[in-house]
Structure 1
Amino acid sequence: MAAEPEGTPCWADATFGDLEGAKRFYGEVLGWTYGESLPEFGNYTQAHVDGKAVAALMPPVPGQEVPAAWCLYFASPDAAATAAKVRENGGKVLVEPMQVGEFGTMVLASDPGGAAFGVWQAGTHEGFEARAVPGAYAWAEIVTREPEKADAFFPAVFGYGAKRMDDDAVDFALYDLGADPLLGRMKMTDDFPAEVPPHVNVYFTVADCDAAVEKAKSLGAELKFGPMTMPFGRFAALTDPQGAAFSLIDGTTTEGEKPKLKDLS
């Protein structure tokens, strides 16, 4: 498998104070099994579906208290060059380019509105080994209070085309690399409490959204929105028992016509 084109969402991981609790939760909700934790890399633990890597979980760095959260990584052929573009376009580099053994090189950054994300220059680890099957990554959205900044920043850094949904009721855009959309951007409304920071919302595929939501709730997750059926699938937004935001989607259950889009370039 070749490394993904620049700007393609290629990997997701999350930090949890209770790593074993997170493994149990996502194992039951998404059917994940786990590889061995890697102590030389901070007990980084890959999650698998049918033997294919789909995400990873890890504990915080000792001595650091960080909120539980998912991080989405975008592919880059040159992590240092992408870090420079992040700075040039008003973002922040939170972790400078760092080689992770033979696996690749990572950067952690945030856009001008404060949404954190990762950059991944592949070595032996090229990213998701499965997508859009139950338990695997499906989609992601930049959730921000400053959509205009996101709509300028991400196309400048990753070369995206950007199109805004032609709907006065919602401020939503789609980013692409010339073909199908790769990423969404949603403006945070007053429905989001002030303490909720801008973030990247990661969606995982499930076979039955309603059943998966009920399972997640029974294990301590909090339902934030949905389940709701739209032209792209039936989805729900939740926070897991440790407070990390994520979404579930069944892409086979759809309703309505896909919205019209207006080019932002």
Structure 2
Amino acid sequence: MTQPKAGDPVWVDLYTADPDRSIAFYGELFGWTAERASEEFGGYITFRKDGKAVAGGMGKMEGGVEGPDQWTVYLSAADARATAEAATAHGGTVVVPPMDVGDLGAMAVLGDPGGAGVGIWQAGSFGGIETAAIVNDGKWRDHDGAPSWFELRTRDYETSLDFYRDVFGWNDTFAMPEAPGFRYTTIHSTSPMLGGVMDASGFLPEGAPAGWTVYFGADDVDKAVAKVVELGGTILSPAEDTPYGRVAAVADITGAGFHLGGDVA
């Protein structure tokens, strides 16, 4: 990725009940390889595509953070501890307190005022995603198996936008033209926009939490969806064409949800 701005999505990682099955699933789906760190780093998994880091993973540990299997999106911050303090001052919560990760950087996980979890990554020797898809003029580039879009779906649209502006320094957002039932703001006003915030108050099922989701690129979204099912995953929302490409929502073999995105069929 190019040099990130404050608040840019820079990393994603998987919290999974079964690291071995997850490694096999994503290896078959995207051609990812996996490296496990030493016990010093809790056996953290780094997924790579063509040798470049694209995502991380961590198995659930006894006494660790409770929660469903899920992907977490991390936003860039110059100072993880100061950002966590700012989050609590602006109505957020700290789920995982800031901690150093060797010389790689520092991380934390927050809860925003709308109830969505989001990570902080303060880069040290490791900056984050080393390859990522870019959506430009409606076309996806360098995208198969790469993180391509990062999206917050929330019932607290205005409050959440204020939170991310105040805490992460989003000062270049772009509010897309509103339509009935549609409100969306992108993180940047110019390409590459990287992601955005959707007002999901009209379609999130009752009881379903707000949350960030990651889109992974696919050369052929329909084939990728079929592969997900073949590998034991599930379809959450069938593939469909949108003005921004063909997308689908799926869950992996242990139930962690994510999206697939590619060019219109």
The TM-score with structure 1 as length reference comes to 0.89
The question of 1:230 aligning with 2:231 is answered no
> 2:5 and 2:114 mapped to 1: Cα distance?
25
Does the Cα contact within 8 Å between 2:156 and 2:201 map onto a contact in 1?
no
Does the Cα contact within 8 Å between 1:60 and 1:66 map onto a contact in 2?
no
> 2:218 and 2:102 mapped to 1: Cα distance?
33
- The match for 1:260 is none
- The match for 1:170 is 182
**The 10-residue stretch of structure 1 (184-193 or 115-124) with the greater mean CA deviation from structure 2:** 184-193
**What is the DSSP-based 3-state SS (H/G/I as helix, E as strand, rest coil) of the residue aligned with 1:23?**
helix
Q: Could you say if the C-alpha distance between residues 69 and 194 of structure 1 is closer, same or farther in structure 2, counting changes exceeding 3 Å?
A: same
> 2:202 and 2:246 mapped to 1: Cα distance?
23
Partner amino acid for 2:31?
A: G
Q: Could you say if the C-alpha distance between residues 191 and 219 of structure 1 is closer, same or farther in structure 2, counting changes exceeding 3 Å?
A: farther
> 1:10 and 1:224 mapped to 2: Cα distance?
25
How big is the shift at 1:226? 2.9
State the percentage of identical aligned residues: 37
The question of 1:253 aligning with 2:254 is answered no
In the TM superposition, what are the counterparts of 1:96-245 in structure 2 within 5 Å? 96-132=97-133, 133-160=143-170, 161-162=172-173, 163-176=175-188, 180-189=192-201, 191-245=203-257
**What is the DSSP-based 3-state SS (H/G/I as helix, E as strand, rest coil) of the residue aligned with 1:26?**
helix
| Structure 2 gap ranges (5+) | 134-142
Partner amino acid for 1:110?
A: G
Partner amino acid for 1:116?
A: G
**What is the DSSP-based 3-state SS (H/G/I as helix, E as strand, rest coil) of the residue aligned with 2:84?**
helix
Aligned length: 253
How big is the shift at 1:100? 0.7
> 1:178 and 1:217 mapped to 2: Cα distance?
36
* Deviations 1:29-71, CA, capped at 9 Å, x for gaps: 1111111343221110100000000001110122344310111
The question of 1:34 aligning with 2:26 is answered no
| Structure 1 gap ranges (5+) | 255-265
How big is the shift at 1:190? 5.4
Does the Cα contact within 8 Å between 1:112 and 1:153 map onto a contact in 2?
yes
In the TM superposition, what are the counterparts of 1:86-101 in structure 2 within 5 Å? 86-101=87-102
* Deviations 1:157-201, CA, capped at 9 Å, x for gaps: 222233144221323222227654232112335543333211101
User: What RMSD over aligned residues (CA atoms) do the two structures have, in Å?
Assistant: 1.9
**What is the DSSP-based 3-state SS (H/G/I as helix, E as strand, rest coil) of the residue aligned with 2:82?**
helix
Partner amino acid for 1:144?
A: T
> 2:217 and 2:22 mapped to 1: Cα distance?
18
How big is the shift at 1:103? 0.8
Partner amino acid for 2:246?
A: R
- The match for 1:257 is none
Does the Cα contact within 8 Å between 1:7 and 1:158 map onto a contact in 2?
yes
> 2:189 and 2:94 mapped to 1: Cα distance?
23
Does the Cα contact within 8 Å between 1:3 and 1:122 map onto a contact in 2?
no
In the TM superposition, what are the counterparts of 1:8-47 in structure 2 within 5 Å? 8-47=8-47
**What is the DSSP-based 3-state SS (H/G/I as helix, E as strand, rest coil) of the residue aligned with 2:187?**
strand
How big is the shift at 1:3? 5.5
Q: Could you say if the C-alpha distance between residues 81 and 178 of structure 1 is closer, same or farther in structure 2, counting changes exceeding 3 Å?
A: farther
**The 10-residue stretch of structure 1 (161-170 or 208-217) with the greater mean CA deviation from structure 2:** 161-170
